[in-house]
Structure 1
Amino acid sequence: MPEFSPYLSPAGDRHFDGLADKFAGSLYGGLRGELRLALLDRLLPEMLDLQGQPVLEVGGGLGQLAAWLSDRGHPVTLTEPAGEMLERAAEHLGDRPVVRHRLPLQSLPAALPGPWPLVTCHAVLEWLADPRAALATLAGLLTPGGQLSLMVFNRDALRLSNVVKGNLAKALDDRLEGQGRRRRLTPISPLTHGQVVAWAEEAGLCVAQVAGVRVFHDYLRTPPEAAADRQALLELEWRYSRVDPHWRLGRYLLYTLIRPEEPAS
């Protein structure tokens, strides 16, 4: 019988009730979080056609992306399965007119089918037991011509990071996934670029844009502390975030996926 975990849903998905403080500190605390948000602030306007259209934010977490979109004039509907995270998102959003729902991704076709001109799903698929099915679900929420902003945890970057840390046997055996049964925040389903491209094609989506987020920071022996050095690292991250081969080793891979327009009858 599988070991019970309070951090896994009945479907085997990782959730974050009881882990909001650890989640906030691990994913957004310090320089790594600053870089992630600063790079998205620059990348999203370049990679998406943003015209104030309604947005469905899937797995909205602490509410940073929903706030960013709302501040730019988008009507935002945020969904998040963890009640504790939804409460944190509400605090962060303040009086912004963001509609919030406590819903898992799998329930969205019935609860909020749209279709939506823009769906955002950042750092969610890697916490799900079946990310392939989840991507197909997201594709089904889009209007023809609609955009999906998808960000996933990069399996290849996780392998390199383990090698840099000296975890050679773990990397050689490809034992990279977390189990989701403890408080550690290693994703249970880190993804490769090849998987995203193949599954997007299966779901009828076209890959329009791709970038790497944090292509250097996570491999540094000592992250910079001086303000000038931190700024220099941000500029390096930005300069090479969309340059091959550097983007392929970003801790996260950021995609713009498009549902093609339906042909005229």
Structure 2
Amino acid sequence: MHPTYELTDAGDRYFDGLADKFSRSLYQAPRGELRLAMLDYLLPQMLHLQAQPVLDVGGGLGQLSGWFAARGHTVSMTEPSHDMLAHAKAWHAEQEAAAVWPPGQLRYVEAPLQALTSQAPGPWPLITCHAVLEWLGHPEQALQTLATLLAPGGQLSLMVFNRDALRFSNVVKGNYQKALSGQLEGKGKRQRLTPISPVTHDEICQWVGQNGLHIESVAGIRIFQDYVRQAPEKASDQATLLALEKQYCQQDPHWRLGRYLLYTVTKPEADV
């Protein structure tokens, strides 16, 4: 079993022992609420959803898998962290008991992305991989694996932590030397949640092209929220900020500074 709070032998970061902190820091906070609200807004626009089976890679606490299950998709959720997967299963069981979706919509694979070519080979018509690449030692290889798992004509919903936004945020916070040196990556130690492999839009474009895939659309998530001087406290201000995020998330130049970049990537149909 991998040591808690340390990188794996492959250089990846798992979150065993951190499920509660992850939940508090990322989802029980305004930034997490806004991220989920933006996904709820963008995914139906950016994907062709026809209740097709979904492979949710690195599903974490299970929110995205639940989102698809509630919309009629059968979902195979993969997650290497036993703690995160247990948290997701418990929450999914509550949702199923409340009839949010019928029994049997979800199955689980406790495995890292690198093992999915054997443990969940597909090919899959729809793959989601949100906020995973930035926690891997070799994100370029991970995208190659995802391309292998994707069916011809299939869609990959890919969300990554934006390195350019991380630099901009450090400047706003006064961390000038850190931004100037370009040493933005987290170390993957202790309970820190700074990604170890933040990526740029140019890198994603390069890797997508190298694997014979195509970017259909892109949007920025949290394009304003991380830079406001004072977080909105009133519900009306929070609603206005969300409206701003929705209005400009796909417009140049704003989407480029989203804390996360959300892509729809497609694989060409097989030659007949």
TM-score by length of 2: 0.94
**Which of these residues, 157, 178, 185, is aligned with residue 149 of structure 1?**
157
**Which of these residues, 227, 237, 247, is aligned with residue 245 of structure 2?**
237
Q: Note if 1:60 corresponds to 2:56.
A: no
How many angstroms apart in 2 are the aligned matches of 1:221 and 1:28?
21
Counterpart for residue 50 of structure 1: 49
Aligned pairs (5 A) from 1:172-251: 172-251=180-259
The amino acid across from 1:23 in the alignment is F
How many angstroms apart in 1 are the aligned matches of 2:60 and 2:257?
24
Q: Which moved more, 1:86-95 or 1:231-240?
A: 86-95
Query: Contact 1:5 / 1:181 at 8 angstroms: preserved in 2?
Result: no
The amino acid across from 1:194 in the alignment is D
Q: Give CA deviations for 1:143-199 in whole Å, capped at 9, x if unaligned.
A: 100000000000000000000000000000001000102211000000000000000
Counterpart for residue 28 of structure 2: 29
Question: What's the CA shift for 1:132?
Answer: 0.1
Provide the secondary structure at the position in 1 that maps to 2:194: coil
Q: Note if 1:83 corresponds to 2:82.
A: yes
Q: Give CA deviations for 1:75-127 in whole Å, capped at 9, x if unaligned.
A: 10000000000011012212252101111000000111100000000000000
How many angstroms apart in 1 are the aligned matches of 2:134 and 2:70?
27
Aligned pairs (5 A) from 1:94-109: 94=93, 95=96, 96=101, 97-109=105-117
How many angstroms apart in 1 are the aligned matches of 2:179 and 2:28?
26
How many angstroms apart in 2 are the aligned matches of 1:29 and 1:144?
38
Question: What's the CA shift for 1:22?
Answer: 1.2
Question: What's the CA shift for 1:21?
Answer: 1.2
Query: Contact 1:17 / 1:85 at 8 angstroms: preserved in 2?
Result: yes
Question: What's the CA shift for 1:5?
Answer: 6.8
Equivalent residues, number: 261
How many angstroms apart in 2 are the aligned matches of 1:205 and 1:92?
34
TM-score by length of 1: 0.97
The amino acid across from 2:69 in the alignment is S
How many angstroms apart in 1 are the aligned matches of 2:5 and 2:64?
27
Query: Contact 2:5 / 2:188 at 8 angstroms: preserved in 1?
Result: no
Counterpart for residue 13 of structure 2: 14
- Could you say what the CA RMSD is over the residues aligned between the two structures, in angstroms? 1.0
Query: Contact 1:7 / 1:17 at 8 angstroms: preserved in 2?
Result: no
Provide the secondary structure at the position in 1 that maps to 2:151: strand
The amino acid across from 2:125 in the alignment is P
The amino acid across from 1:235 in the alignment is A
**Sequence identity (%):** 60
Q: Give CA deviations for 1:193-238 in whole Å, capped at 9, x if unaligned.
A: 0000000001111000100001000011111000000000000000
